[in-house]
């Protein structure tokens, strides 16, 4: 009897896990269920301003960690990867200020660029300058904000570290786990002075990357191309992908394994429900969704998953006329807005300056503007209110009253998992509470970025392979 594995959820974590199971456990039937009518989850790409592929969510992944690049190569996209243009970014604080050189995720590694930047007050600079003299700071709170404020003071934290890390994770870093940002955690755990450690690490990186290997990469046809190519590889490897398939219930099967009930939205009325048996089930859905599916099969895990917190975001894409674009903004990739200065906009990307292949054929510029973060609700705003808020904030930040030629508004409910301090203990509790044969993966657990989701999916596939091996051994 062939063993069967179900993967519930067709985002990057789900398709990565499904393909990895096919790779590590040949001969196992792999079936992926996705409730939407497409795979991709919170990765989306569509035409805009005459450009065929403009991302609506994430537009790149870290290229200096191996997992996403390796997946792209595995599914035939290795030669299609492109990198952003070498343009600088800024922070807005009563005006645009270039991000100082020498930072590592916002942590200063050099005092010179900080001293000459107008982004910090003289008090903020003086407070940062004494960091190398301070005794070691405990990381027991596991809060990025608590740790960085203790080392550098409020200004460095709010205008640099929180602006950068908070933008990446749509979070309030005072309430985000330090241990879950590996670069910062390594600096904090292994060194007394963060500044001196960041200086050493950046110096080592500079020596090791003299060939100027890119920090970020993306498929030329957008991030959806990575998901679609992975889905195609699943099918080519003998797997099955069923979209518009909403899983409604999970329960133990007589004799072992799990029964998965699903509803097929494309089936004729009255013939839309089916139940399938699997030896193992991987949940690659958001934590709250996974919890709702596990209420009967694993009530303790379901209760833990129900407590997971997320942040909603809205991405507004604008096409503005070339005549409205100031020369002073050229050769920039965009800017971040520190939390104390935020109204609605948290960050703006000058996307057609960041990506050469996103330049509109008819001229002008493409901007992608982000709204929403941990603690700030945005989904209640109508599209008209969202656009008005964006244009008002852009006028304040850039001094330009834009009249966009084209607008696209993309809403991402629950898009960013919030890793509270001591998040890893919560993850371990969830995993301990799962019955044998059930696994969880995705951005809610062991890493939010695309490489982390790919890595998590691959790791879960290894655990599933081991579980299937145990079943085979027991049956022999």
State the Cα–Cα distance between residues 231 and 39, nearest whole angstrom: 8
User: How far is the first Cα of the chain from the last one, in angstroms, to the nearest whole number?
Assistant: 12
Residue 179 scores a pLDDT above 60: yes
Q: Which two tokens stand for residue 176?
A: 């985000």
The pLDDT of 177-196, averaged and rounded, is: 94
Q: State the CB neighbour count (10 A cutoff) for residue 236.
A: 11
Query: What domains can you pick out in the chain, each with its CATH number?
Result: 4-43+220-308+419-475 (3.50.50.60), 102-208 (1.10.3110.10), 310-417 (3.90.660.20)
State the Cα–Cα distance between residues 363 and 252, nearest whole angstrom: 59
Q: 216-240: per-residue pLDDT in tens?
A: 999 999 999 999 999 999 999 999 9
Q: What is the mean pLDDT of the chain?
A: 94
Q: Which two tokens stand for residue 215?
A: 């920090």
Q: What's the pLDDT score for residue 475?
A: 84
Backbone region of residue 400 per phi and psi (left: phi > 0; alpha: psi in -120 to 50; beta: other values): beta
Beta-bridge mates of residue 438: 281
Opening angle at CA 195, ends 193 and 199, nearest 5: 120
| 160 DSSP 8-state letter | I
Q: What is the 3-state secondary structure (H, E, C) of 430-462?
A: HHHCCCCCEEECCCCCCCCCHHHHHHHHHHHHH
CB 152 within 8 A of CB 131: yes
Opening angle at CA 160, ends 332 and 329, nearest 5: 15
Does the pTM exceed 0.85?
A: yes
Q: What's the pLDDT score for residue 273?
A: 77
Backbone region of residue 11 per phi and psi (left: phi > 0; alpha: psi in -120 to 50; beta: other values): beta
CB 62 within 8 A of CB 451: yes
List for the chain the helix, strand, coil content (%; round to 5). 40, 25, 35
Q: 127-148: per-residue pLDDT in tens?
A: 999 999 999 999 999 999 999 9
CB 189 within 8 A of CB 183: no
Q: 247-273: per-residue pLDDT in tens?
A: 988 999 998 999 999 987 776 665 667
Q: 43-93: per-residue pLDDT in tens?
A: 999 999 999 999 999 999 999 889 999 999 999 999 999 999 999 999 999
Strands, E assignment, 144-257:
216-219, 240-242, 245-252
Beta-bridge mates of residue 334: 89, 349
Q: What percent of the chain has pLDDT over 70?
A: 97
CB 439 within 8 A of CB 460: yes
The pLDDT of 378-395, averaged and rounded, is: 98
Question: 354: closest CA among 52, 83, 85?
Answer: 85
State the Cα–Cα distance between residues 217 and 237, nearest whole angstrom: 26
Residue 210 scores a pLDDT above 50: no
SS3 381: coil
Q: What percent of the chain has pLDDT over 90?
A: 89
Q: Where residue 114 falls among pLDDT bands split at 50, 70, 90?
A: very high
Q: Which of 171-185, 189-203, 267-281, 300-314 shows the lowest mean pLDDT across its residues?
A: 267-281
Q: In the block, which residue shows the tokens 């919030």? A: 418
Pairing of strands 88-92, 332-336: parallel
State the Cα–Cα distance between residues 391 and 386, nearest whole angstrom: 9
State the Cα–Cα distance between residues 41 and 12, nearest whole angstrom: 7
CB 266 within 8 A of CB 244: yes
CB 458 within 8 A of CB 67: yes
Packing angle of the helix pair 12-24, 223-236 (nearest 10 deg): 30
CB 452 within 8 A of CB 66: no
Phi, psi of 421 (to 5 degrees): -50, 140
Q: What's the pLDDT score for residue 268?
A: 64
Please name the residue ranges forming H helices in 258-346.
Answer: 287-293, 299-306
Q: Which two tokens stand for residue 276?
A: 């399938």
Q: What's the pLDDT score for residue 264?
A: 77
Opening angle at CA 460, ends 243 and 274, nearest 5: 35
Beta-bridge mates of residue 282: 7, 439
Edge to edge, the sheet with strand 310-320 lists 96-98, 88-92, 332-336, 345-349, 365-371, 310-320, 406-417
Q: 395-445: per-residue pLDDT in tens?
A: 999 999 999 999 999 999 999 999 999 999 999 999 999 999 999 999 999
Question: 26: closest CA among 435, 341, 472, 476?
Answer: 472
């Amino acid at each position: 009897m062939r063993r069967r594995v179900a993967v519930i959820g067709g985002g990057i974590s789900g398709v990565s896990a499904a393909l990895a199971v096919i790779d590590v456990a040949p001969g196992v039937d792999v079936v992926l269920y996705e409730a939407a009518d497409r795979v991709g989850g919170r990765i989306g790409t569509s035409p805009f301003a005459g450009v065929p592929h403009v991302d609506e969510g994430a537009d790149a992944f870290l290229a200096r960690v191996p997992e996403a690049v390796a997946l792209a190569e595995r599914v035939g996209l290795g030669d299609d990867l492109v990198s952003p243009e070498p343009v600088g970014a800024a922070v807005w604080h009563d005006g645009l200020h270039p991000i100082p050189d020498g930072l590592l995720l916002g942590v200063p590694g050099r005092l010179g660029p900080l001293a000459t930047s107008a982004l910090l007050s003289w008090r903020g600079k003086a407070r940062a300058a004494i960091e190398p003299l301070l005794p070691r700071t405990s990381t027991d709170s596991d809060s990025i904000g608590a740790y960085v404020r203790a080392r550098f003071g409020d200004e460095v934290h709010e205008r640099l570290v929180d602006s950068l890390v908070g933008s990446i994770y749509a979070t309030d870093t005072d309430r985000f786990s330090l241990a879950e940002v590996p670069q910062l955690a390594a600096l904090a755990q292994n060194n007394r002075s963060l500044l001196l450690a960041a200086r050493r690490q950046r110096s080592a990186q500079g020596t090791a990357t003299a060939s100027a290997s890119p920090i970020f990469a993306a498929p030329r046809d957008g991030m959806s191309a990575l998901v679609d190519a992975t889905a195609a590889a699943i099918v080519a490897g003998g797997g099955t992908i069923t979209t518009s398939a909403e899983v409604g219930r999970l329960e133990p099967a007589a004799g072992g394994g799990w029964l998965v009930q699903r509803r097929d939205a494309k089936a004729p009325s009255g013939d839309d429900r089916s139940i399938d048996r699997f030896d193992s089930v991987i949940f690659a859905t958001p934590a709250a969704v996974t919890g709702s599916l596990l209420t009967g099969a694993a009530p303790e895990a379901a209760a833990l998953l129900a407590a997971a917190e997320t942040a909603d975001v809205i991405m507004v894409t604008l096409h503005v006329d070339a005549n409205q674009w100031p020369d002073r903004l050229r050769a920039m990739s965009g800017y971040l807005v520190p939390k104390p200065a935020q109204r609605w906009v948290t960050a703006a990307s000058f996307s057609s300056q960041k990506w050469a292949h996103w330049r509109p054929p008819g001229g002008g510029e493409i901007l992608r503007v982000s709204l929403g973060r941990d603690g700030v609700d945005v989904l209640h705003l109508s599209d008209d209110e969202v656009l008005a808020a964006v244009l008002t904030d852009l006028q304040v930040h850039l001094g330009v009253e834009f009249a966009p030629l084209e607008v696209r508004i993309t809403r991402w409910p629950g898009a960013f998992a919030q890793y509270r301090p001591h998040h890893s203990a919560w993850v371990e509790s969830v995993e301990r509470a799962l019955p044998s044969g059930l696994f969880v993966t995705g951005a809610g657990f062991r890493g939010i970025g695309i490489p982390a989701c790919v890595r998590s999916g691959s790791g879960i596939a290894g655990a599933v392979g081991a579980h299937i091996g145990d079943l085979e051994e027991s049956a022999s």
